């Protein structure tokens, strides 16, 4: 038994290291250029290669940066501006020239993966631009097809969360009906070409409009009471998942639940004007650090479990020339001298951030020191909703939940109870193993009985 455990532990360690060595294909970053002090493109390319970031989104199509990324394997999203939309829509030749200038000379050495036509057009209120968006997208697609790049490079547009009329609770997510058939047309294009629906969810702005402590914890992926969706009985433990599931519901309500969602922007400012709440290094580090750990855990959202959506964090650098409140110029993960603004856990080879205790530490009655192995398991009679919430919580803390995902050795039995038990124990074993770390709002308990079965090993350990 002891030998078996040792081997499993080694195997686990090996698997863990193998997964750490790999980059994370779903982590991207936005490269905004409204700045006077950006590092040279070659330095940016080198910086990106030293991180887990696998994708970069440009708002335009700066050839110097696209060239600097050649051969790096980093995926590149480029953008056609709102100002180009009327010409792209009315003139197929303009679209052909756009592709011939901005894509053809660089591809495939520079791995362009997506072209976004326009930014937040549907929430701009500009009816003329909104009507021309789909024809512009179609002409860019036609131009790609003519260059034999159709399918290799996808075409889409980027939306703000304002395209949703309703997003709370997540199951009621729906698009603004005033779009009429325009949104349907865009989604039909996404669906027909396999291009993603790209959107900008910002829990930061949700907190800004509801600046309560409880909301901040919910937005920062920190311990909180959660929010129950009364329709589905799902308890959401963070705003990011709630916003994504609202988008998923909105897509489903239009009949397009299979269209892939991409987070084109999300982020948190580390600094702001005196009257701007939640703008601190601490909060920005909590949001982006916990977001990255959440994505790496592959737990997904309650309505889209077991996968991480491609997420472009805003932003790589500060943009010192941006107008507006101070926070607008303070979203950068890195400084112009290429050092980190704060450690968001993006360095290669770094283990996902250490799990924290789910509850504020309680005074714990001194327990006799014991060398016996213990495991953290759910108490009897705990509801599936609570177990689901424990599962989401634990897997959002950077532990490796791949064994309970499809194909994993602990996937069967495919029940919330079994998956939650695995995740709760793993989080506990990765902590300092004080009893408080198996509390889970009083739904967990320590057991001396090893829950491992078949090939599914529950790591154990003594306090």
Beta carbon of residue 188, minimum distance to ligand NAG (angstroms, whole number)? 5
Q: In this structure, what are the phi and psi dihedrals at residue 346, rounded to the nearest 5 degrees?
A: -95, -5
359 is an active site residue? no
2, 31, 411 from 460: Cα distances, Å: 11, 44, 19
- Least distance in angstroms from the C-beta of 191 to ligand NAG: 4
What is the sign of the dihedral through the CA atoms of 222, 228, 233 and 238? negative
Give the nearer residue to ligand NAG in terms of CB position, either 257 or 307: 257
Q: Which residues bind ligand NAG (CB under 6 A)?
A: 188, 191-192, 255-256
Q: Which of 265, 276, 319, 373 is catalytic?
A: 265
Which CB, 171 or 191, lies closer to ligand NAG? 191
Pick the catalytic residue: 120, 319, 328, 373? 120
Handedness of CA 253, 245, 54, 69 (dihedral sign): positive
Choose between 192 and 455: whose C-beta lies nearer to ligand NAG. Answer: 192
> Sign of the C-alpha dihedral, residues 80, 346, 389, 205?
negative
CB of 77 to ligand NAG, least distance (A): 23
Number of residues that make up the chain: 463
Q: Least distance to ligand NAG from the beta carbon of 194, Å?
A: 8
What is d(CA 370, CA 372) in angstroms, rounded to the nearest whole number?
Answer: 5
Q: How far is the CB of 181 from ligand NAG (least distance, A)?
A: 13
Those residues whose C-beta lies under 8 Å from the C-beta of residue 22, and which sit 6 or more positions away, are none
Nearer to ligand NAG, 255 or 406 (CB): 255
Question: Which residue is closest to ligand NAG by CB?
Answer: 191
Say if residue 315 is preceded by a cis peptide, omega within 30 of 0. Answer: yes
CB of 254 to ligand NAG, least distance (A): 8
Known active-site residue 120: yes
Kindly give, in sequence order, each residue whose CB lies less than 8 Å from that of residue 329, ignoring residues fewer than 6 positions away: 318, 319, 320, 321, 322
Which lies closer to ligand NAG via its Cβ, residue 188 or residue 325?
Answer: 188
Alpha-carbon distance 294 to 310, whole Å? Answer: 12
205 vs 256, beta carbon nearer ligand NAG: 256
Q: What is d(CA 160, CA 120) in angstroms, rounded to the nearest whole number?
A: 5
- Contact residues for 104 (Cβ-Cβ < 8 A; gap 6+): 147, 149
Q: What is the set of active-site residues?
A: 120, 265
């Amino acid at each position: 038994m002891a030998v078996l455990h040792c081997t499993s532990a080694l195997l686990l360690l090996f698997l863990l290291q193998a997964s750490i060595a790999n980059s994370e294909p779903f982590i991207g970053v936005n490269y905004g250029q409204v700045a006077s002090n950006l590092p040279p493109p070659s330095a940016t390319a080198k910086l990106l290669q030293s991180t887990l970031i696998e994708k970069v989104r440009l708002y335009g199509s700066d050839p110097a940066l696209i060239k600097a990324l050649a051969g790096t394997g980093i995926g590149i999203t480029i953008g056609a501006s709102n100002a180009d939309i009327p010409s792209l829509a009315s003139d197929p030749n303009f679209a052909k020239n756009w592709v011939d200038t901005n894509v053809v000379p660089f591809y495939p050495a520079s791995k362009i993966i997506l072209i976004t036509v326009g930014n937040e057009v549907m929430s701009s209120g500009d009816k003329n631009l909104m009507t021309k968006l789909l024809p512009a997208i179609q002409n860019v697609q036609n131009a790609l097809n003519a260059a034999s790049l159709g399918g290799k490079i996808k075409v889409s547009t980027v939306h703000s969360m304002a395209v949703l009329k309703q997003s709370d609770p997540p199951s009621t997510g729906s698009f603004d009906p005033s779009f009429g058939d325009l949104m349907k047309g865009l989604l039909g294009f996404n669906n027909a070409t396999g291009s993603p629906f790209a959107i900008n969810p910002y829990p930061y702005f949700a907190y800004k409009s509801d600046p309560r402590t409880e909301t901040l914890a919910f937005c920062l992926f920190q311990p909180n009471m959660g929010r129950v969706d009364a329709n589905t009985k799902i308890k959401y433990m963070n705003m990011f998942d709630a916003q994504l599931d609202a988008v998923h519901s909105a897509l489903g309500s239009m009949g397009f639940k299979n269209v892939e969602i991409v987070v084109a922007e999300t982020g948190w400012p580390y600094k702001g004007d005196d009257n701007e709440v939640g703008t601190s290094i601490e909060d920005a580090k909590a949001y982006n650090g916990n977001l990255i750990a959440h994505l790496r855990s592959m737990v997904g959202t309650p309505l889209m479990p077991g996968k991480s959506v491609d997420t472009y964090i805003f932003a790589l650098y500060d943009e010192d020339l941006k107008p507006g409140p101070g926070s607008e110029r303070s979203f950068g993960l890195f400084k112009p001298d290429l050092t980190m603004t704060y450690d968001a856990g993006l360095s290669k080879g770094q283990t996902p951030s250490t799990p924290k205790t789910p509850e504020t530490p309680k005074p714990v009655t001194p327990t006799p020191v014991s060398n016996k192995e213990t495991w953290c398991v759910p108490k009897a009679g705990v509801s599936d909703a609570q177990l689901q919430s424990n599962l989401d919580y634990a897997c959002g803390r950077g532990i490796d939940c791949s064994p309970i995902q499809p194909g994993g050795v602990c996937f069967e039995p495919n029940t919330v109870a079994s998956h939650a038990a695995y995740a709760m124990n793993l989080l506990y074993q990765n902590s300092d193993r004080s009893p408080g770390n198996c509390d889970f709002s009083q739904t967990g308990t320590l057991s001396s009985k090893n829950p491992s079965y078949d090939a599914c090993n529950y790591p154990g350990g003594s306090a």
